Amino acid sequence: MLAIRDHCDDVCLKQQQRRGSEESEKFVKEMALVTTNPTINEGPLFAEVDMGSDFNAPTVRATVVQASTIFYDTPATLDKAERLLAEAASYGSQLVVFPEAFVGGYPRGSAFGLSIGNRTAKGREEFRKYHSAAIDVPGPEVDRLAAMAGKYKVHLVMGVIERDGYTLYCTVLFFDSQGHYLGKHRKIMPTALERVIWGFGDGSTIPVFETPVGKIGAAICWENRMPLLRTAMYAKGVEIYCAPTADSRDVWQASMTHIALEGGCFVLSANQFCRRKDYPPPPEYVFAGTEEDLTPDSVVCAGGSVIISPSGAVLAGPNYDGEALISADLDLGEIARAKFDFDVVGHYSRPEVLSLIVKDHPTNPVTFTSTSTKIEDKTK
């Protein structure tokens, strides 16, 4: 039986070898047909797979605007903003950042007739005019700004004075390149006498918006010196950190460089460049304590607008020469390179030792319980 099984195995083996030889000849002939007549293959052997973007990080052209408000004339200021936006777009800018309080004006030098325990009639009238120059959010001026952003296909970050009833806020508005209003940030801590004319923002307006050009957020002037506010923005993943300001001192540059290094983000700081003649003349508008030393051409805010990379390198500016558009190309790959060294809310954090709680709900002074009761009744 063993001999019969061996014989059968030999026969089977020879049959398998013969079939294998025939298949090999057939395969060779088919291969010869492919090589001699390649038109038989009318399409790719494998379907193309879209793997998304390559390993090269995108580059974004950004511009910070250094220019003055047309004080007490919001329509004219909006016209000026559009001219500047159009010029920046003509240079290929995808993101344009305007200074603090560009629309509505930064009331530099004004005391609004204030002293402890006293207000003057002239100061009250100054506030009335300033209130009149502010804008409602939402409102027609916001609609116009959105239309500008859509018209010129740029992401827009605009400093405004927001009017909410009879309280004013120093605010930044965000728009995308399709002409949509994204939201706002209200300055949470006005500085010195600003606290008399501006209200305080709360934790509900500390946004970071994810856009096609990166994650964009903003902090205004000296609130950039508040470590906990910065940390909240880092935790939201800010990549392009906008810092509209009214501070033109040299020391401001140190703060901007520090934030870029600390956050591993691009920092875009926009400031106005203003001369005395950019404000109404006296006695309508008086620079308290310095008016007698000023001429119409005296510089009252020297600018210093700047763009800084996540590694702390100055990409453009600071400019102290006059009104200008300051632009730079942002290599977004620099963010990952910087975070490799230091990620303040990531691998370089110690949450078991130090942590932060942000109260990001609106803080309304008045809540009507009847509103919530009606909602509850509808659900029954």
Sheet holding 167-175, edge to edge: 181-186, 167-175, 155-164, 95-97, 59-66, 324-331
Q: What is the crossing angle of helices 74-90 and 140-152, to 10°? A: 10
- Which of the residues 42, 48, 100, 334 is marked catalytic? 100
Residues in CB range of 375: below 8 A, 6 or more apart: none
The maximal CA–CA distance of the chain, rounded, in angstroms, is 126
Closest CA to 224 of 275, 249, 248, 188: 188
Cis status of the peptide bond prior to 280, with omega within 30 of 0: no
Amino acid at position 183, single letter? G
Tokens matching residue 310: 């996540």
CA 71-218-198 angle, to 5 degrees, is 45
Amino acid at position 17, single letter? Q
Query: What does the CA dihedral 64, 69, 73, 79 come to, rounded to 10 degrees?
Result: -30
Q: What is the crossing angle of helices 251-263 and 227-235, to 10°? A: 40
Evaluate whether 306 touches 242 at the Cβ level (below 8 Å).
no
- The yes-or-no answer on residue 126 being catalytic is no
- Residues marked active site are found at 100
